[in-house]
Amino acid sequence: MEFTHEQISEIISEITNGESGFQGLVKQGLESLMLSERRLHNESASDVSNGFRDRRVCHGGKVFELGVPRSRNSNFYPLLL
């Protein structure tokens, strides 16, 4: 799926103006990157997704509650963390 620059700006604006603000945008971005990384890991390692684990990450004085993806063989750990 491809979006125009205007559509992307509108989506980002909706998220940042929402209840969780900028912190919500960062959380969604990090979780999305980790999901993409797990998908690549699963393809290259012939592994299978196995849910998420909760993790707290501190950055810039903020605490983020993230859903970190897991793999069935437990050998996936996101580079972001």
- Residue 50, SS3 per DSSP: strand
Q: What is the dihedral of CA 38, 58, 61, 37, to 10 degrees?
A: -10
For residue 56, tell me if it sits in a domain. Answer: yes
For residue 33, tell me if it sits in a domain. Answer: yes
For residue 63, tell me if it sits in a domain. Answer: yes
Measured between its terminal Cα atoms, the distance across the chain in Å is: 27
What pLDDT, on the 0 to 100 scale, is given for residue 41? 94
Number of domains in the chain: 1
What pLDDT, on the 0 to 100 scale, is given for residue 36? 96
For residue 79, tell me if it sits in a domain. Answer: no
List per-block mean pLDDT (blocks of 10 residues) for the chain, which spans 81 residues.
Answer: 93 87 88 95 93 90 91 90 84
For residue 78, tell me if it sits in a domain. Answer: no
Structural domain boundaries, residue 50:
5-12+19-71
Q: Which residues of 45-54 are buried (b: 16+ CB within 10 A; e: fewer)?
A: eebeeeeeee
CA–CA–CA angle 67, 35, 53 (5° rounding): 25
For residue 62, tell me if it sits in a domain. Answer: yes
